[in-house]
């Protein structure tokens, strides 16, 4: 197995954590704040605001440097700005607008945050420490409308899209957990929600993530995971930035995929694969397909054979993830034997495949579960 980074590292977000520490923040609701969320703005937009308010343009880079590089949380700490400007900015803008509703940390260096949004919505995001890598997994929506039957995030549907600033803020909150000399190295849009159903804001947030004045992360280290929405995949290809694309396949044929991923009924597996192929042609980035292995559902030898047929002539990495149990759902993690057999068929079928192991019995929840469990209390 290659040691190069792959997006699957980040699927740990769905492999939830053996908790060694769990904190809750106070739940008092913040007063309504009409100030502009600074994290919603690109550098160019902020420069425009400054010049329109009689300020030199170079202040924008200074402020961004304080926020993204020096990790400060309020304008007062920006010591090389004139005091009047600091006051003016604080009147007009807010930097952090969410709060940390809960934090879980695990012994393997993984931190999971439940972020409370200004309107009371909640999303999850995760920091994974793995060797020199500092990968984060970020949410794009409150809830999810895709309805994948085994996923906790979509059990109650979708409430709303996150703003650009709310997506960026998750990144900053996770960056703030690093040691001063450490940097975020990889981002995966594999948290709650369907990123391609909120594409403009996701692309805006990722622009901040990769720009030199933002987090400076190469698009080659950024992965967008999708259930497979062809028109949005084509828009992503036209955007021209070579992000990695991961497509959640989960089944090798139409009937089973429509059962597990209900939006497939209207789209069809061929259209999803064709759009993924076009993305590969346009971006040159190797595609990833994700396949959550559900015991007795999509883990039979014939499923592995069908899957090999589908993928063997494509330049792809298949990431097989044994199901992580979600309370209240009827699915089970496959047995070790059926996982091994599934793997063997794919490997001998010529598919470049990677298996993620379950993280043990301490695991308490799957993606979206931290939010569910707290709300159930």
Gap between the Cα atoms of 133 and 128, Å rounded? 8
Identified catalytic residue from 14, 125, 137, 367: 367
Say if residues 308 and 347 touch (Cβ distance below 8 Å): no
**Residue 255 annotated among the catalytic residues of the structure:** no
Residue 182 or residue 254: which is nearer to ligand SAH going by CB?
A: 254
Say if residues 219 and 240 touch (Cβ distance below 8 Å): no
Residue 5 or residue 150: which is nearer to ligand SAH going by CB?
A: 150
Residue 95 or residue 318: which is nearer to ligand SAH going by CB?
A: 318
Residue 88 or residue 259: which is nearer to ligand SAH going by CB?
A: 259
32: Cβ contacts below 8 Å, ≥ 6 apart: none
Residues lying near ligand SAH in the complex (CB under 6 A) are found at 11, 14, 146, 148, 150-151, 190, 194, 225-227, 248, 290, 292, 321, 323-324, 326, 366-367
Residue 63 or residue 365: which is nearer to ligand SAH going by CB?
A: 365
Q: Tokens 């906790």 correspond to what residue? A: 152
The secondary element (H helix, E strand) that includes residue 94 is strand 93-94
Closest C-alpha among 186, 162, 191 to residue 175? 186
Identified catalytic residue from 124, 166, 213, 290: 124
**Residue 367 annotated among the catalytic residues of the structure:** yes
CB 293 to ligand SAH: min, Å: 8
Q: Is 249 among the annotated ligand-binding positions?
A: yes
Q: Is 140 among the annotated ligand-binding positions?
A: no
CB 324 to ligand SAH: min, Å: 4
141: Cβ contacts below 8 Å, ≥ 6 apart: 123, 158, 159, 160, 161, 162, 192, 193, 194, 197, 198
Q: Is 193 among the annotated ligand-binding positions?
A: yes
CB 295 to ligand SAH: min, Å: 12
Which is it for strands 93-94 and 99-105: parallel, antiparallel or unpaired?
unpaired
Q: Is 324 among the annotated ligand-binding positions?
A: yes
CB 248 to ligand SAH: min, Å: 4
The secondary element (H helix, E strand) that includes residue 113 is strand 110-116
Gap between the Cα atoms of 299 and 130, Å rounded? 29
Q: Is 151 among the annotated ligand-binding positions?
A: yes
* 3-class state of residue 265 by DSSP: helix
**Active site residue ranges:** 124, 367
Report the binding-site residues for [4Fe-4S] cluster.
144, 148, 151
Report the binding-site residues for S-adenosyl-L-methionine.
193-194, 225, 248-250, 324
Report the binding-site residues.
144, 148, 151, 193-194, 225, 248-250, 324
């Amino acid at each position: 197995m290659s040691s190069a980074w792959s997006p699957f590292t980040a699927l740990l977000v769905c492999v939830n954590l053996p908790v060694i520490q769990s904190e809750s923040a106070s739940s008092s609701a913040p007063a309504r704040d009409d100030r502009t969320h600074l994290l919603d703005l690109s550098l160019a937009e902020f420069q425009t605001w400054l010049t329109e308010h009689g300020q030199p343009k170079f202040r924008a880079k200074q402020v961004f440097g304080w926020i993204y590089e020096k990790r400060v949380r309020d304008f007062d700490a920006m010591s090389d700005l004139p005091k009047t400007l600091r006051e003016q900015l604080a009147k007009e803008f807010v930097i952090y607008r969410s709060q940390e509703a809960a934090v879980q940390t695990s012994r393997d260096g993984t931190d999971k945050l439940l972020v409370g949004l200004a309107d009371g919505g909640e999303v999850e995001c995760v920091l994974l420490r793995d060797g020199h890598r500092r990968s984060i997994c970020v949410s794009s929506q409150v809830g999810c409308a895709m309805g994948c039957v085994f996923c906790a995030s979509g059990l109650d549907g979708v409430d709303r899209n996150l703003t650009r600033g709310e997506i960026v803020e998750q990144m900053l909150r996770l960056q703030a957990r690093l040691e001063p000399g450490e940097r975020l190295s990889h981002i995966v849009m594999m948290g709650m929600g369907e990123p391609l159903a909120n594409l403009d804001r996701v692309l805006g947030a990722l622009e901040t993530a990769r720009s030199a004045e933002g987090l400076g992360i190469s698009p080659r280290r950024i992965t967008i995971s999708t259930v497979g929405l062809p028109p949005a995949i084509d828009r992503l290809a036209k955007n021209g930035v070579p992000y990695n694309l991961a497509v959640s396949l989960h089944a090798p044929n139409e009937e089973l995929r429509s059962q597990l991923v209900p939006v497939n009924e209207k789209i069809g597996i061929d259209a999803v694969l064709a759009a993924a192929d076009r993305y590969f042609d346009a971006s040159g980035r190797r595609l990833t397909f994700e396949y959550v292995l559900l015991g007795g559902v999509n883990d039979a030898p014939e499923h592995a054979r069908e899957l090999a047929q589908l993928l063997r002539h494509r330049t792809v990495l298949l990431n097989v993830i044994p199901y992580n149990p979600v309370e209240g759902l009827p699915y089970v993690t496959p047995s070790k034997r059926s996982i091994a057999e599934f793997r063997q068929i794919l490997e001998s079928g010529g598919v470049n495949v990677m298996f993620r192991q379950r993280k043990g019995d301490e695991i308490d929840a799957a993606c979206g579960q931290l939010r569910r469990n707290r709300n159930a209390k």
